[in-house]
């Protein structure tokens, strides 16, 4: 029996509508909330890379400056 496109790509809800999650988890259930989480995670990772890059660039200051 062939499936229609609606039947094939229908996604069951994670929780029924009657039960509410706490605020942070409820926000993650929406597409906008997931995009916010992805944006904040990306900013955190970019900050991590920049901080470590600056720390690694201290190697080029020379050995006398490194051990002060």
In a domain, 39, yes or no: yes
Predicted local confidence at residue 12, as pLDDT: 59
Q: Can you give the pLDDT at residue 50?
A: 97
- DSSP track, 1-68: -PPPHHHHH----SS-TTSPPPHHHHHHTSHHHHHHHHHHHHHHHHHHHHHHHHHHHGGGG-HHHHT-
Q: Which domain holds residue 45?
A: 35-68
- Please name the helix (run of DSSP H) or strand (run of DSSP E) that holds residue 58, with its range, or none: none
Whether 47 maps to a domain, the answer reads yes
> What band does 11 get if pLDDT is binned at 50, 70 and 90?
low
Q: What is the pLDDT of residues 26-68, one digit of tens each?
A: 777 788 888 999 999 999 999 999 999 998 988 888 777 766 6
Residue 4 included in any domain: no
Question: Does residue 55 fall inside a structural domain?
Answer: yes
Q: How many domains does the chain have?
A: 1
Task: Give the C-alpha separation, 54 to 32, whole Å.
Answer: 33
């Amino acid at each position: 029996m062939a499936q229609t496109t609606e039947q094939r790509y229908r996604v069951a809800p994670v929780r029924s509508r009657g039960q509410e999650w706490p605020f942070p988890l409820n926000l993650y259930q929406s597409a906008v909330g997931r995009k916010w989480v992805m944006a904040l995670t990306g900013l955190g990772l970019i900050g991590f890379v920049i901080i470590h890059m600056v720390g690694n660039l201290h190697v080029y200051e020379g050995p006398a400056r490194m051990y002060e």
